[in-house]
Each structure stands twice: as structure tokens, then as C-alpha cells.
Amino acid sequence: MPEVHFTVQLPDGTREQCYSPSTVVCRYFKQGEEMSVTDFLTRSRAALAEASERVRARYGFACSSVSAQLQEIEQFTKRQPPDGQVRILSI
């Protein structure tokens, strides 16, 4: 299953690299796109849940890396204003 790494820039200027075990994340995010922190978090949850389900369908178990990545996203977005803008730098 092809994995995807994507880099985001947070409202405070920091950059974070994120991981998805599936290309499904490319349906949720596009390079250069901007969205609110709240929208980014909502889309991340949906994209990573779908990616984990794809892993489960193929291998019979959920992807543990998805849980870890989502926890990281939830942590770094907590430190940002909800209406601040996240930019997808690369995907």
C-alpha cells in the first residue's frame, strides 16, 4: 500500500511532517491549499480514519501509525488558534 508524507505549515510558522499509510489523503488535501486549523483537524481525522480502514481491509488489522499520527496532529494543532490558517506545503 503506497504511503504518503505531507508537510504542513502552521499559523505560527512551524512546519510539521505528517504520514498516511494510504494515498487516500490526497483526496482530502492538495499542495498549496490553505484551511483553518479546525478544518485541517477535521479533514485529518477523516482522511486518516479512511486510510486505516483501507489497511484493515487489505491486511486484516488497523494501522497503528495512524493513531500515533492523529495524536501528534491533535497535539500540535492545540497550540494554534482555531481560525488560524494551515497551508499544505507538500504532499
Instruction: List the strands of the sheet with 15-20, edge to edge.
Output: 15-20, 4-9, 85-90, 34-36
Q: Quick one: cell of 45?
A: 481525522
What pLDDT shows up at residue 18? 97
What pLDDT shows up at residue 75? 97
Q: What's the whole-number average pLDDT of the chain? A: 94
**Which tens digits make up the pLDDT trace of 30-85?**
999 999 999 999 999 999 999 999 888 888 887 889 999 999 999 999 999 999 99
What pLDDT shows up at residue 1? 59
* pTM, to two decimals: 0.90
**Which tens digits make up the pLDDT trace of 19-30?**
999 999 999 999
